[in-house]
Amino acid sequence: MLRAIGTTRTTFRIRPGFHVRTPVFATFVRLMLPRMASVGIEPLTFAYFTAVAAGLGAGSISALNFALDYQVLPVSLIGVSFSLAVFPVLSAAFSSGDRDGFQRVLLRNVAIIGLLTSAAAVALFVLSGVLVDVLLGGGRFGPEAVALTASVVAVFAVSIPFDALAYPLSRALYATHNTVYQVISSFAGLGAVVLASQAMVGPLGILGIPLGYAAGVATKDVLLALFLIRRVRQIDISRPG
């Protein structure tokens, strides 16, 4: 602050500057615009689930919303957190052309997230009834509501590892300065969610929604992995470290 005040005695003036005609800003825009196109996919997915659940009888929307709260917790705590933690390392490896380092960090991150979220999914599947009964049961939330919600929670547990793995795969693609492939995978996953849910809601009722979601995020994971393999092969190992 004192130095800023001192500049009033000189010809130098502090003022904001916007340098948009730079390679860095151009890269920022190129990466940001595709990413913005996929921001609304998750709200659209949940809005679609709500619309489907609305036609499945009383208690379906409540069961769906409560089940999503249980499903998202391990995905956020493990998938999102671990992916964000290694993103700078992946970016540095890509920038320096360290293909082996990039692959090593990515595979370790994917393995850890996969193992931890699989364990969380099994635990949630087994304990779904107890958790819902203890945390939500009572009053107007009677035994039927508990049973319905617990069944939806148990089936949603299947999607936890697939949902969580989308984060390290997406972050790895971002680290290679590509956001288009993630957007393509996200829209393909949304399409798979809709198609699978529509096919399974008829015979399975509300349980078709979490199964459709699992199919959708699994489809997204496969596409992300295929795109990522292509990007990793293009890492310039001749670049100085």
Dump pLDDT digits (tens) for 138-193: 777 888 889 999 999 999 999 999 999 999 999 999 999 898 999 999 999 999 99
Q: Supply the angle between the helices 180-204 and 208-233 in degrees, to the nearest 10.
A: 160
Percent of the chain with pLDDT over 70: 82
If one compares 27 and 82, the residue with the highest pLDDT of the two is: 82
Segment 64-68 mean pLDDT:
92
Q: Mean pLDDT over all residues of the chain?
A: 86
**Among candidates 222, 214, 5, 228, which has minimal Cα distance to 106?**
228
Q: What letter does residue 21 receive in the DSSP assignment?
A: S
pLDDT at 18: 58
**Total domain count, the chain:** 1
The structure tokens listed for 236 are 């310039």
Does residue 21 sit within a domain? no
pLDDT at 3: 55
**Among candidates 38, 76, 51, 42, which has minimal Cα distance to 209?**
51
Whether residue 131 contacts residue 73, with contact meaning beta carbons closer than 8 Å, is answered with: no
Does residue 92 sit within a domain? yes
Does residue 5 sit within a domain? no
Does residue 187 sit within a domain? yes
pLDDT in tens, 27-65: 555 556 666 767 778 888 989 999 999 888 878 899 999
DSSP letters of 116-184?
HHHHHHHHHHHHHHHHHHHHH-BTTB-HHHHHHHHHHHHHHGGGHHHHHHHHHHHHHHHHTT--HHHHH
Does residue 14 sit within a domain? no
pLDDT at 17: 57
Q: Which domain holds residue 190?
A: 41-233
pLDDT at 235: 84
Q: Is the per-residue pLDDT at 79 higher than 90?
A: yes
Does residue 179 sit within a domain? yes
Does residue 26 sit within a domain? no
Does residue 29 sit within a domain? no
Q: Is the per-residue pLDDT at 241 higher than 50?
A: no
pLDDT at 139: 75
Name the helix (H) or strand (E) containing 84: helix 81-95
Q: How far apart, in Å, do the first and last CA atoms of the chain sit? A: 39
If one compares 221 and 236, the residue with the highest pLDDT of the two is: 221
In this prediction the pTM is 0.83
> How far apart, in whole angstroms, are the C-alpha atoms of residue 210 and residue 200?
10
Phi first, then psi: give them for residue 36, nearest 5 degrees.
Answer: -65, -30
Reported as a pLDDT band with limits 50, 70 and 90, residue 204 is: very high
Counting beta carbons within 10 angstroms of the beta carbon of residue 37, is it exposed (0 to 12), middle (13 to 18) or buried (19 or more)? middle
